Amino acid sequence: MSQIKALLNGIAFHQGDTQWYGLSAIPEGAKQINKKFVAASEVSGATHSACGSYTMYEMPEGVVLEVHKRSVLNHTFDVNLNGGKALDEAVILPPKDHNPTFIEKGIYYSSPQTRFDPYEGFNTKVRD
Amino acid sequence: MSNTQQRQITDADFTPEINEEIKKLQKIAIDELENGTEYSNWKYENTVEYINYVLKLSDQGKRVILIANNPIEYDKMFYVLFSDDFMDEAQIPTRDLYNHMMANPEEDHTEAMKALSAKVLGQEIKTRLNLDTLYHWSGLLSEYSRAYLMWHQVLAYQFNQANENQKDLDWLWANVRQASILKVYITEMVILVVRMPKEIHRNELGFHNPRGLAIDHNGYGKYYINGRPMPDDIFSKFFEGRLTFEDWNNITSEDVKAGVITCIRETQGEEGVLKFLGATLIDEIDVEHHNRVEYKVNLTESDIATLENLYPGRDVVQMVTYSVDEAFDKFKTEVVSNYTENLQLYRTTKTFPFAMDRDKKLGAALAWVRFLCPSTGSTYLISTCPKFDKALDAAKFCRPAAIPAEFPYKWVSAN
């Protein structure tokens, strides 16, 4: 976690409960994975999904995206991802609730907003 | 064939005058449906007449038309009519009426159909219904029929593209709202119909009603807040005044919690929210974020001509509007808008034996940061540690664990 802190470049944006922070480099230990949605709602079936040219990495408590070319962060139903094919194209998909967000070329860390759990005394990820 | 010459309609045909006419037609299509007038003016005879017209158009014979007032009645009538349990009570009388209709085609059978609907609906069902009931999709017999027929009005009378069946389309448009059909199930003898809802409430985001059902079938229906469906059990309890603060606090979905708070805020204001929570406003701040950059398409006629040559057959305005490819940036103007976010920190006036603060000390108060979603306008109360006295510090605390407190709370984009 301290590694992320050292790499923050000052850029931050959010789409609903997913927060995004610009990084100056890919953190050490980030493991490359196949593209997938960034977050999904347990109730509505909607996802926050980055669509375009990027490489995805897994980190504790989040993901890192190395965006090669301007991409789009969509909040859309899973079915609109066309079995994952739409993740490769920088397209605006039919929005569920949140408007689409353009993600410029760069490296970003994404993790959900957190909430304080008064029963446990620490923060947990926001659920929707 | 129609005398009018068919031609392709493009964006350029949608003049301000025509768009105004389309808006008027859209209002005609849905206003009285949404405000309850269509439901209260409805007559059984109107639905029968409309369906008979559609049957005649498709060279089909008349059917026994039975009408349910809402989807619950529809489920019950479907079961009674099409399961084997009600042969004497429903199926034989339906067949008898059908045979009578065939033998006496000139008679008006509406009263007999009304009586049969009531008889079918009145059957006692001992088992709890959990049906996956069937519907037929038809362009002329569904909730979408009025939209389909409305666009034919636009084609015929705004773009001079009358259909060869325009007389029938005009009759159907004039009568589709009085028929007020939501769904139908069609068999050889009987058509089972469910009526449109009594009222539909919406805002600019979609279905929305902070005072009760958004889709209201006269007391039964669906709850929505800002376009999001809300769970029946929690929201019926809330609107009956039985949802306690403890119930709300135990809801795991932040969207559902936000739905409840949005209802309270829109009907009782901020004071109502604080009263429900047993909380006071501790701190409030307006945070000025980085200016948001959006894009506005700025195509000249010459640009359009060039692009249409490059991309034949494409709607180039739409293509440029929705493309994120840098190649199209030269056709876009950056529109910079200021974004100021109001953050509020709430804390309960009393403490709770089960509640901890972040030092794991029991007997703490409960606290929340109030965020307003910039896309939906919904009010989110995100739980935070009660030791904070500043809304900004509490909002920073709701960020991912990897983000340090000293990192500025400023978004370049918020949706």
Nearest to A70 among B326, B352, B373 (CB): B326
Task: Mark yes or no for CB contact A8/B403 under 8 Å.
Answer: yes
| Contact A49/B at CB under 8 A | no
Domain count, chain A: 1
Last residue of a domain, one of B137, B169, B195: B195
| Contact A105/B at CB under 8 A | no
Task: Mark yes or no for CB contact A52/B324 under 8 Å.
Answer: yes
Structural domain of B185: 11-195
| pLDDT tens digit sequence for B343-361 | 999 999 999 888 899 999 9
Last residue of a domain, one of B334, B365, B400: B334
Task: Mark yes or no for CB contact B415/A102 under 8 Å.
Answer: no
Given this model, what pLDDT does residue A60 score? 84
Sign, Cα dihedral of A34, A37, A38, A43 = negative
Task: Mark yes or no for CB contact B373/A21 under 8 Å.
Answer: no
Residue B166's CB is within 10 A of a number of other CB atoms, namely: 17
For residue B394, being part of any structural domain is answered with no
Angle, helices B254-277 vs B232-239, to 10°: value is: 20
In this structure, the answer to whether residues B173 and B45 fall within a common structural domain is: yes
Note the pTM of the prediction, 2 decimals.
0.75
| Contact A99/B at CB under 8 A | yes
Can you tell me the distance from the alpha carbon of B268 to that of B271, in angstroms, rounded to the nearest whole number? 7
Can you tell me the distance from the alpha carbon of B79 to that of B73, in angstroms, rounded to the nearest whole number? 10
In this structure, the answer to whether residues B171 and B316 fall within a common structural domain is: no
Q: How far is CA B10 from the centre of its chain?
A: 29
| pLDDT tens digit sequence for B44-69 | 999 999 999 999 999 999 999 999 99
Sign, Cα dihedral of B42, B232, B267, B27 = negative
Domain count, chain B: 2
Q: Is B42 helix (H, G, I), strand (E, B) or coil?
A: coil
Task: Mark yes or no for CB contact A97/B227 under 8 Å.
Answer: yes
For residue B121, being part of any structural domain is answered with yes
Given this model, what pLDDT does residue B1 score? 43
Can you tell me the distance from the alpha carbon of A77 to that of B205, in angstroms, rounded to the nearest whole number? 16
For residue B352, being part of any structural domain is answered with no
Place of tokens 């306690």: B244
DSSP string, A15-79: ETTEEEEEESSPPTTPEEE----SEE-TTT-EEEEEESSEEEEEETTEEEEEESS-EEEEEEEGG
Q: How far B225 CA sits from the closest chain A CA (Å)?
A: 11
The closest alpha carbon to A102, from A36, A46, A50, belongs to A50
In this structure, the answer to whether residues B188 and B40 fall within a common structural domain is: yes
Last residue of a domain, one of B278, B301, B334: B334
CB within 8 Å of chain B, chain A residues 54-83: 61-62, 69-72, 75
Question: Could you tell me which residue, B241 or B292, shows the higher pLDDT?
Answer: B241
The mean per-residue pLDDT over the stretch B128-156 comes to: 89
Q: How far A34 CA sits from the closest chain B CA (Å)?
A: 23
For residue B126, being part of any structural domain is answered with yes
Can you tell me the distance from the alpha carbon of A68 to that of A66, in angstroms, rounded to the nearest whole number? 6
Q: Among A38-52, B71-85, B143-157, B167-181, which stretch is predicted with the lowest mean pLDDT?
A: A38-52
Nearest to B253 among A15, A90, A127 (CB): A127
Q: How far B285 CA sits from the closest chain A CA (Å)?
A: 19
Given this model, what pLDDT does residue B269 score? 87
| pLDDT tens digit sequence for B207-248 | 999 999 999 999 899 999 999 999 999 999 999 999 999 999
Structural domain of A41: 2-125
- Mean pLDDT computed over every residue of chain B: 91
